[in-house]
Structure 1
Amino acid sequence: MKNLPYEWLVGLRYTRAGKRDKRNSFISFISLISMSGIALGVAALIIILSVMNGFRKEVTDRMLSVLAHVEVFDKNGSMPDWQEQARRAMTNPAVKGTAPFVQTQAMLLHGGEILRPAVVRGVLPDQEPNVSDLAKTTKFGSFKDLRPGEFGIVMGIDLARSLQLNLGDKVTMALAQGTVTPAGVVPRMRSFTLVGVFVAGHPEFDSGLAFIHIQDAEKMLRMDAPAGLRLRLADMHRAPEVAEELKKLFPSNLTVRDWSRLNANWFAAVQTEKRMMFIILTLIVAVAAFNLVSTLVMTVTDKQADIAILRTLGATPRSIMKIFVIQGALVGVLGALLGVAGGVLVALNIDVIVPFIEHLLGVQFLSKDIYQISTVPSDMHWADVGVIAVVSVLLAFAATLYPSRWAASVKPAEALRYE
Structure 2
Amino acid sequence: MKLNSLTLLIGRRYALSQRHSQLVSFISSVSIVGLVVGVALLILVLSIMNGFDRELRERILGIMPHAALYHRDGIVEYESLADRLRAHPDVDTAIPFVQMEGLLSFRREVAPTRIYGIPTAERESLAVLADSVPEAAWESLAQHPRGVMLGAGLARKLSVGEGEKLTLVVPPGAGEGAPTIEALEVLAVFDTGTELDNNLALMALARASDLTRAPGAASGIRLQVNDLFIAPDLVRQLARELPGGFYTSDWTRTHGNLYQAIHMSKQMVGLLLFLIIAIAAFNLVSTLIMVVVDKQGDIAILRTLGASSGEILGIFMVQGGVIGIVGTALGTLAGIGMSLWVTEFVQWLEQLLNFQFLHSDVYPISYLPSAIHWPDVAQVSVTALVLSLVASLYPAWRATRVQPAEALRFE
What is the TM-score with the length of structure 2 in the denominator?
0.78
Q: 2:67 aligns with which of 70, 74, 83?
A: 70
How far 1:275 moved relative to its partner? 2.9
Change (3 A) 1:128 1:347: closer
Change (3 A) 1:68 1:132: farther
Q: Which runs of 5+ in 1 are unaligned?
A: 181-185
Q: Which runs of 5+ in 2 are unaligned?
A: none
The equivalent residue for 2:114 is 119
Q: Judge conservation of contact 1:366–1:376 (CA < 8 Å) in 2.
A: no
State the AA in 1 paired with 2:269.
M
CA RMSD of aligned residues (A): 4.1
Q: Judge conservation of contact 2:76–2:218 (CA < 8 Å) in 1.
A: yes
Show the 5 A alignment for 1:172-321. Answer: 172-175=168-171, 177=173, 179=175, 188-223=179-214, 225-233=217-225, 238-241=227-230, 244=233, 248=237, 251=241, 253=244, 254-255=246-247, 257-259=249-251, 262-308=254-300, 320-321=312-313
CA distance in 2, matches of 1:411, 1:398: 24
Change (3 A) 1:282 1:178: same
Identity of matched residues, %: 32
State the AA in 2 paired with 1:84.
S
CA distance in 2, matches of 1:366, 1:383: 36
CA distance in 2, matches of 1:374, 1:264: 19
Q: Judge conservation of contact 2:105–2:166 (CA < 8 Å) in 1.
A: no
Change (3 A) 1:299 1:177: same
Q: Equivalent residue of 2:103, what SS? A: strand
Please identify runs of 4+ aligned residues in structure 1 that moved more than 6 A.
312-316, 365-376
Change (3 A) 1:119 1:281: same
Q: Equivalent residue of 1:223, what SS? A: coil
The equivalent residue for 1:183 is none
Q: Judge conservation of contact 1:46–1:388 (CA < 8 Å) in 2.
A: yes
State the AA in 2 paired with 1:120.
I
Change (3 A) 1:280 1:97: same
Q: Does residue 27 of the first structure (1) align with residue 24 of the second (2)?
A: yes
State the AA in 2 paired with 1:277.
V
Deviations 1:199-221 (A, max 9, x none): 13235322211233444544443
Q: Equivalent residue of 2:74, what SS? A: coil
Deviations 1:67-97 (A, max 9, x none): 12332334x4533443232112222455443
The equivalent residue for 1:82 is 78
Deviations 1:285-306 (A, max 9, x none): 3444344233212211123344
How far 1:135 moved relative to its partner? 5.0
Q: Number of residue pairs matched?
A: 401
Q: Judge conservation of contact 2:78–2:221 (CA < 8 Å) in 1.
A: yes
Deviations 1:243-280 (A, max 9, x none): 64565555155555554553111122222333343334
CA distance in 2, matches of 1:408, 1:8: 16
CA distance in 2, matches of 1:28, 1:133: 53
What is the TM-score with the length of structure 1 in the denominator?
0.77
How far 1:229 moved relative to its partner? 0.7
Change (3 A) 1:52 1:397: same
CA distance in 2, matches of 1:322, 1:25: 22
CA distance in 2, matches of 1:366, 1:343: 27
How far 1:115 moved relative to its partner? 2.5
CA distance in 2, matches of 1:362, 1:209: 26
Show the 5 A alignment for 1:318-337. Answer: 320-337=312-329
How far 1:321 moved relative to its partner? 4.2
Q: Equivalent residue of 1:386, what SS? A: helix
How far 1:196 moved relative to its partner? 2.3
Q: Does residue 388 of the first structure (1) align with residue 400 of the second (2)?
A: no
State the AA in 2 paired with 1:73.
Y
